[in-house]
Amino acid sequence: MLAFVPVTLDLYRSVRRHLHWTLQNLVAFADRTGRCFPSVRTLAAATGQPRSTVSRHLAKLAEEGVITRRRRPGGVYAYVIASRFLPAARGVSHRREKGVPPPGREEQAGKKTGFAQARFAKSGISFGEMPDERAKWQARLRGWRKSRFWLPLWGPKPTEAGCFAPLDVLATGG
């Protein structure tokens, strides 16, 4: 997590010497606006100092006006570092690649929703609500012609002998 943070040391002359290392580690966690949210335990691990020492240093830095801290729910603090202690916002020496692409939307026109709607006879009526057996057999035969789908429950396939579909529906082509 720690990275090299270029800081002008003249700025640190106004801060007591024993607080420098804690402040530098806190700056390493900060974003460009100076906000950061590390726990005392995380800062203690980063600085190599006991938690009580880090906690005391943070209280001193807040007292001197170097940082402001606000207690958040759960007993953690949100810190804002004074802008004069933040590294200068310089550009990078190389062009950055794009980050994570924006999330796609599920309801895109290019999806296969049009195909799914075209497979069924009427979009507002489910198969069980079809009024008569003739309409059901027409829908089944239409499905058979498009995709060769046939349930064993419907009896023999239209190409087989003994098909249960009415002869007039078979003859008209569904």
Query: Could you give the CA distance from residue 63 to residue 54 in angstroms, rounded to a whole number?
Result: 14
**Contact yes or no for 72/78 (Cβ under 8 A):** yes
The residue with greater pLDDT, 58 or 102, is 58
Query: Could you give the CA distance from residue 125 to residue 130 in angstroms, rounded to a whole number?
Result: 7
Q: How confident is the model at residue 106 (pLDDT cuts 50, 70, 90)?
A: low
What is the tens place of the pLDDT at every residue in 137-161? 888 888 888 888 888 888 898 888 8
Question: At 172, is the secondary structure helix, strand, or coil?
Answer: helix
Strand partners, 36: 79
